[in-house]
């Protein structure tokens, strides 16, 4: 049998990995042209009034998503915050997954609303619709759904619940730009779709975000929160919101030059996502006969865009080998593997101590809070269990060309480590 790299043997993964973010030659060309244009056209440097390259990008992005209303923002977090501000007020509740990047829930807290956590589906790791209704109270205003890792949640079932209880649905698509369910883009099912085109995301121009809304009314309310009065003034003219035109806003607009890059990257988002999927599918197929690592599950009709590949570690298939020993051996073979959500959001200190940045314990201690909020171990057992079995592997989010030879090396590395499980147990 071959010798493990961690024991001095040869490393399995020796092909170069992909880099991310990545600019194409065409990105560089359009970037240079935009800088040149900025010498005489202010809309390349000033986003306050809208228009210019930002508007071009917005129109393309909306058409790509199949959405009617929306605008670009400086970050995905901006879109989430604005959506939460429109959807709920102080002391009101938004249901949310505890298994996400913190900002999914952070946006709820920024609106001084209260996150109420619902457990996740063990297969897709997204909000479990079967667990939602139990958590709805007369304070619930919205359901925040994250499509984690780029894997679409069961949004149709969630929309049916939201309609029954008259709740808003906010989709956090920061990791899922371009993902679809039955051919429809995520972010267009709910009332709000929030996207990121920040540096690590599936389409990137350095930093950026986008909000789409289902109705014009939500769009106007969101614009009043996050856009400059020079722009939102034009949008709400002649509507009942006109009197609220004001500079009491968040400065959430993006840089127009980033929009130029975003617009160019959008053209190849589908192609990049198709390669991510091809490489990841190849990996999932290869995992089928390797013990210890269970491939990701994708719902029927859904198209995952593999911002990350999160598998499940199954120590029972490897004689109980602790994950840390497994990942250390894999790392030595040249394959990085890590845990993305080590601790569910509600078990972290800000929630446990009711200290979200400053103040006096708000939103939990806000006079508008209807009850006492406690977050404790056992609240969402499936999410808590992920801390023990998550196995995010490789660089799938950056694989926007054919990387199957590298993926084959990943598989060889995993197989090799699995075959040496007994030996590693004895270490």
Ligand X SMILES: Cc1ncc(COP(=O)(O)O)c(C=O)c1O
Cβ(282)–Cβ(407) under 8 Å? Answer: yes
> Does the protein bind ligand X through residue 196 (CB under 6 A)?
yes
Of 209, 262, 363, 397, the one binding ligand X (CB under 6 A) is 209
Which two three-digit tokens encode residue 161?
A: 């619940």
Q: How far is the CB of 189 from ligand X (least distance, A)?
A: 17
> Does the protein bind ligand X through residue 101 (CB under 6 A)?
yes
> Does the protein bind ligand X through residue 327 (CB under 6 A)?
no
Instruction: Give CA–CA dist 52/40, Å, rounded.
Output: 12
Of 49, 53, 76, 254, the one binding ligand X (CB under 6 A) is 76
Cβ(309)–Cβ(426) under 8 Å? Answer: no
Rounded to 10 degrees, the C-alpha dihedral 25/27/28/29 comes to: 90
Q: Which segment (21-29, 99-107, 133-141, 404-412) binds ligand X by CB under 6 A? A: 99-107
Size of interface with ligand X, in residues (CB under 6 A): 15
Q: Of the two residues 103 and 265, which places its CB atom closer to ligand X in the complex?
A: 103
Instruction: Give CA–CA dist 210/340, Å, rounded.
Output: 24
Q: How far is the CB of 87 from ligand X (least distance, A)?
A: 16
Beta strands of 208-365 (E only): which ranges?
Answer: 209-213, 293-294, 302-303, 310-313, 337-338
Of 104, 140, 202, 312, the one binding ligand X (CB under 6 A) is 104
Instruction: Give CA–CA dist 59/64, Å, rounded.
Output: 9
Q: How far is the CB of 416 from ligand X (least distance, A)?
A: 32
Preceding amide of 324 cis, omega within 30: no
Q: Which segment (95-103, 221-229, 379-387, 406-414) binds ligand X by CB under 6 A? A: 95-103
The interface with ligand X within residues 144-183 (CB under 6 A) comprises 146, 172, 174-175
Q: How far is the CB of 332 from ligand X (least distance, A)?
A: 29
Q: How far is the CB of 354 from ligand X (least distance, A)?
A: 23
> How many other CB atoms are found less than 10 A from the CB of residue 324?
9
Cβ(73)–Cβ(210) under 8 Å? Answer: yes
The interface with ligand X within residues 235-254 (CB under 6 A) comprises none
Site track for ligand X across 28-67, x = CB under 6 A: ----------------------------------------
Q: How far is the CB of 27 from ligand X (least distance, A)?
A: 19
Shortest Cβ contact with ligand X: which residue? 76
Instruction: Give CA–CA dist 285/309, Å, rounded.
Output: 13
> Does the protein bind ligand X through residue 77 (CB under 6 A)?
yes
Of 198, 229, 292, 344, the one binding ligand X (CB under 6 A) is 198
Q: Which segment (8-16, 24-32, 74-82, 400-408) binds ligand X by CB under 6 A? A: 74-82
Describe the chain by its helix, strand, coil percentages, rounded to 5. 45, 15, 45
Q: CA nearest 190: which of 224, 156, 147, 225?
A: 156
Instruction: Give CA–CA dist 171/167, Å, rounded.
Output: 13
> Does the protein bind ligand X through residue 75 (CB under 6 A)?
yes
> Does the protein bind ligand X through residue 98 (CB under 6 A)?
no
DSSP 48-61: TT--HHHHHHHHHH
Q: How far is the CB of 73 from ligand X (least distance, A)?
A: 9
Name the site residues for ligand X (rule: CB under 6 A).
75-77, 80, 100-101, 103-104, 146, 172, 174-175, 196, 198, 209
């Amino acid at each position: 049998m071959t010798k493990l790299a961690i024991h001095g043997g040869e490393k399995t993964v020796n092909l170069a990995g992909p880099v991310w973010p990545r600019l194409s030659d065409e990105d560089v060309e359009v970037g240079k042209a935009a800088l040149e244009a900025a010498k005489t056209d202010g809309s390349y440097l000033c986003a306050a009034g809208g228009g210019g390259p930002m508007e071009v990008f917005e129109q393309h992005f909306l058409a790509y998503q199949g959405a009617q209303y929306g605008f670009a923002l400086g970050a995905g977090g901006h879109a989430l915050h604005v959506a939460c501000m429109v959807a709920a007020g102080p002391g009101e509740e938004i249901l949310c997954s505890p298994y996400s990047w913190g900002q999914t829930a952070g946006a709820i807290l920024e609106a001084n609303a209260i996150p109420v956590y619902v457990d996740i589906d063990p297969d897709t790791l997204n909000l479990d619709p079967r667990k939602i209704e139990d958590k709805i109270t007369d304070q619930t205003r919205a359901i925040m759904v994250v499509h984690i890792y780029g894997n679409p949640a069961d949004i149709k079932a969630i929309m049916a619940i939201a309609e029954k209880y008259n709740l808003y649905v906010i989709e956090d698509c920061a990791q899922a730009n371009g993902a679809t369910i039955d051919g429809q883009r995520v972010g267009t099912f709910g009332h709000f779709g929030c996207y990121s085109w920040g540096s690590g995301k599936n389409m990137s121009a350095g930093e950026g975000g986008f909000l789409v809304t289902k109705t014009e009314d939500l769009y106007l309310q969101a614009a009043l929160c996050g856009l400059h009065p020079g722009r939102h003034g034009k949008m709400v003219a002649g509507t009942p919101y006109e009197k609220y035109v004001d500079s009491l806003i968040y400065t959430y607009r993006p840089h127009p030059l980033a929009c130029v890059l975003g617009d160019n990257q959008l053209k190849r988002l589908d192609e990049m996502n198709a390669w991510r999927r091809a490489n990841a599918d190849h990996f999932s197929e290869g995992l089928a006969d390797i013990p210890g690592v269970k491939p990701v599950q994708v719902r029927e009709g859904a198209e995952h865009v593999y911002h990350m590949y999160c598998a499940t570690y199954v120590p029972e298939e490897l004689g109980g080998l602790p994950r840390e020993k497994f990942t250390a051996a894999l790392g030595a073979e040249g394959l990085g593997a890590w845990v993305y959500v080590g601790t569910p959001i509600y078990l972290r200190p800000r929630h446990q101590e009711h200290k979200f940045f400053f103040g006096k314990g708000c939103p939990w201690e806000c006079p508008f809070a209807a009850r006492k909020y406690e977050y404790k171990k056992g609240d969402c057992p499936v999410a808590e269990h992920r801390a023990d079995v998550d196995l995010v592997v490789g660089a799938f989010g950056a694989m926007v060309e054919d990387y199957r030879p590298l993926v084959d090396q990943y598989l060889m590395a995993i197989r090799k480590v699995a075959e040496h499980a007994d030996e590693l147990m004895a270490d």
